[in-house]
Amino acid sequence: MRIKNALYEKVKQENDLFLELRKQYYKNFWQKASNKFDAKMEEIEDDFFIIRKNGFHTFVHFYEVELDNHLILDIAGKKNVTNKLLAKNRFPVPNYLKFNLNNISDAVEFLNRFKSIVIKPTEGGGGKGVTVGIRTEEQLRKAIISASIYSKDFLVEEEIEGQSFRLLYLNGDFIDAIRRDPPIIKGDGKNDIKSLIRKTNKARINNTLVEALSPINIDQSMINYLKQNKLNLKAVLKKGEITLLKKVVNQNSASENHVVKDDVHHSTIEIGKQIVKYFGIELAGLDIITTNISEPLEVNGGVINEINTTPGLHHHDLVSDNDKKIDIGYILLKYIFENKKYAISNFGNQIKF
pLDDT at residue 350 is higher than 50: no
| Strand-pair partners of 78 | 123
Cβ atoms of 233 and 194 within 8 Å: the answer is yes
Three state DSSP letters for 174-201: EEEEEEECCCEEECCCCCEHHHHHHHHH
Residue 347 falls within a domain, yes or no?
Answer: yes
Which own/partner contact pairs does 335-338 have at CB distance under 8 Å and 24+ positions apart?
335/170, 335/171, 336/58, 336/65, 336/66, 336/67, 337/37, 337/39, 337/53, 337/54, 337/56, 337/58
- Tell me how long the chain is: 353
Within-domain flag for 85? no
Q: What is the rounded distance in angstroms from the CA atom of residue 115 to the CA atom of residue 110?
A: 10
Q: Which of residues 318 and 351 earns the better pLDDT score?
A: 318
Query: What integer pLDDT is reported at residue 124 of this predicted model?
Result: 78
**175 and 310 fall within a common domain:** yes
Confidence of residue 241 (pLDDT cuts 50, 70, 90): very high
pLDDT per residue as tens digits for the range 288-347: 999 999 999 999 999 999 999 999 999 999 999 999 999 999 999 999 999 867 777 775
Q: How many domains, the chain?
A: 4
Q: What is the CATH number of the domain that holds 133?
A: 3.30.1490.20
188 and 246 fall within a common domain: yes
Average predicted confidence (pLDDT) for the chain? 93
The confidence band for 123, taking pLDDT boundaries of 50, 70 and 90, is confident
Side-chain half-sphere exposure of 36, counting CA atoms within 13 A: 14
Question: 2-36 and 193-206 are packed helices; what angle lies between their axes, rounded to 10 degrees?
Answer: 40
Q: Which helix (H) or strand (E) holds 286?
A: strand 283-290
> Which pLDDT does position 345 carry in this prediction?
77
User: Does residue 79 sit within a domain?
Assistant: no
Residue 127 predicted with pLDDT over 70: yes
Q: What pLDDT shows up at residue 213?
A: 97
Task: Encode burial over 293-306: b for 16+ CB neighbours within 10 A, e otherwise.
Answer: beeebeeeebbbbb
Residue 59 lies in a domain: yes
Same domain, 282 and 165: yes
Q: pLDDT over 90 for what percent of the chain? A: 89
CB 44 within 8 A of CB 353: yes
Instruction: Look up residue 243 and give its DSSP letter.
Output: E
pLDDT, one tens digit per residue, over 57-114 is 999 999 999 999 999 999 998 999 999 999 999 999 999 999 999 999 999 999 999 9
Q: Please check whether residue 72 lies inside any domain of the structure.
A: no
Terminal Cα-to-Cα distance of the chain (whole angstroms): 49
Contact call for residues 148 and 104 (beta carbons, < 8 A): no
Tell me the average pLDDT across 105-133. Answer: 92
Residues 6+ apart with CB under 8 A from 50: 41, 42, 44, 57, 58, 59, 353
pLDDT value at position 284? 97
Same domain (yes/no): 128, 246: no
Whole-number Å distance between alpha carbons of 168 and 270: 12
Domain that holds residue 11: 1-66+328-353
Contact 168, 331 (CB under 8 A): no
pLDDT, tens digit (0-9, with 9 covering 90-100), for 3-50:
556 656 777 888 899 999 999 999 999 999 999 999 999 999 999 999
